[in-house]
């Protein structure tokens, strides 16, 4: 398993070794020893999510209140997508910045984003599947969104070659600046303290 620390604190890319043969293919997208070495703590999985998206669908930007937040380990078992991690933590040196990783069923890369980071992705093929390992259960009262078309973020949806397909909830979400004004965004110092709690508890 190859691990790459992404430009935003708390985000990592994992690339497993795939084993194809005449029967098909075997791969382990999540491997705990590599995850613990990278993050300093194990991943507590409280919920797994599965989404199927048509080409051009954009889901996100989503994040949750910290604590407890929701860490996500995501990979694409079918199709291809552009996965985007956005730093929405107020006070972070990379606040408002984003990084993107292509996830697909050829390389089987995975991305981990720690609690407090924003997440979005764009499906690049029809019937693209995303699998999520989530550290906490879904809690609608603690879940928030940011407009994925916010021009201040300038997320990389041009690769879609057309207008992104959004849910009404995502389309009507506030931009980053408005979300900050409304006090919706996580605090960077609080997030760092939470990450340390995860490491010391392991």
pLDDT value at residue 53 = 98
Q: What is the pTM (predicted TM-score) of this model?
A: 0.96
Contacts of 168 (CB under 8 A, 6+ apart): none
- Taking residues 144-153, report their average pLDDT: 97
- Taking residues 174-198, report their average pLDDT: 97
Tokens, residue 33: 């020893």
User: With pLDDT > 90 as the criterion, what percentage of the chain qualifies?
Assistant: 97
> Contact 86/98 with Cβ under 8 angstroms?
yes
pLDDT value at residue 105 = 96
Contacts of 174 (CB under 8 A, 6+ apart): 146, 147, 182, 184
Sheet with 143-145: strands ordered across:
98-104, 80-86, 118-123, 58-64, 143-145
Backbone angles phi, psi at 171, to 5 degrees: -65, -30
The superfamily (CATH) of domain 2-201 is Jelly Rolls (2.60.120.10)
Cα gap 51→134, rounded to integer Å: 13
- Taking residues 18-41, report their average pLDDT: 97
Tokens, residue 74: 């995501």
Cα gap 165→188, rounded to integer Å: 31
pLDDT value at residue 161 = 84
- pLDDT range class, residue 39, cuts 50, 70, 90: very high
- Taking residues 71-96, report their average pLDDT: 98
- Taking residues 52-57, report their average pLDDT: 97
Active-site residues, by number, are 62, 132
Quickly count helices (H) and strands (E) in the chain. 4, 13
* Domain ranges for the chain: 2-201
């Amino acid at each position: 398993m190859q691990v790459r620390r992404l430009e935003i604190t708390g985000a990592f890319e994992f690339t497993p070794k795939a084993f194809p043969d005449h029967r098909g293919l075997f791969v382990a997208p999540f491997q705990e020893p590599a995850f613990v070495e990278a993050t300093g703590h194990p991943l507590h999985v409280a919920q797994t999510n599965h989404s199927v998206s048509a080409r051009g669908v954009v889901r996100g930007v989503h994040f949750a209140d910290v604590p407890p937040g929701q860490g996500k380990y995501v990979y694409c078992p079918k199709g291809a997508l552009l996965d985007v991690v956005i730093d929405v933590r107020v006070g972070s040196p990379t606040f408002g910045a984003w990084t993107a990783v292509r996830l697909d069923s050829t390389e089987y890369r995975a991305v981990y984003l720690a609690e407090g980071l924003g997440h979005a992705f764009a499906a690049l093929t029809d019937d693209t599947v995303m699998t999520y390992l989530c550290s906490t259960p879904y809690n609608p009262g603690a879940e928030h969104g940011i407009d994925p078309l916010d021009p201040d973020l300038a997320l990389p949806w041009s690769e879609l070659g057309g207008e992104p397909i959004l849910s009404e909830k995502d389309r009507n979400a506030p931009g980053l600046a408005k979300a900050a004004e409304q006090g919706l965004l996580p605090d960077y110092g609080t997030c760092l303290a939470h990450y340390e709690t995860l490491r010391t508890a392991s």
